[in-house]
């Protein structure tokens, strides 16, 4: 159940990041390569959060959480592509 929560949260995160990148016009490269930048940002964010948890007393580091985050990132990209019909 914990891994499913990670996947769902990162699906939502990537979806919202992609939506924001697509709506902005200040940085054209960010807009036109939004899927790549969103994936990179969300994956790095997920890894850094898990590494930070390792240093906390009440939290546990789990490599499977990182994997669930990454899977959620890719699913979020697929969902966004299907919703907005952009390849």
Query: How crowded is residue 11: how many other Cβ atoms within 10 Å of its Cβ?
Result: 21
pLDDT at 60: 81
- Please, is 46 exposed, middle or buried when counting C-beta atoms within 10 Å of its C-beta (0-12, 13-18, 19+)? buried
- How much is the pTM? 0.88
Measure the N-to-C terminal CA separation of the chain; round to a whole number of Å: 31
Mean pLDDT of the chain: 91
Domain boundaries, the chain: 2-84
Mean local confidence (pLDDT), 10-15: 97
85: left (phi over 0), alpha (psi -120 to 50) or beta: left
pLDDT at 56: 79
């Amino acid at each position: 159940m914990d891994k499913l929560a990670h996947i769902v949260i990162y699906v939502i995160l990537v979806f919202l990041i992609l939506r924001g990148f697509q709506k902005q016009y200040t940085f054209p490269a960010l807009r036109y390569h939004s899927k790549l930048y969103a994936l990179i940002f969300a994956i790095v964010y997920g890894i850094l959060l898990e590494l930070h948890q390792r240093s906390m007393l009440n939290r546990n580091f789990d490599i499977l959480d990182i994997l669930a985050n990454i899977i959620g990132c890719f699913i979020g990209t697929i969902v966004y592509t299907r919703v907005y019909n952009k390849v």
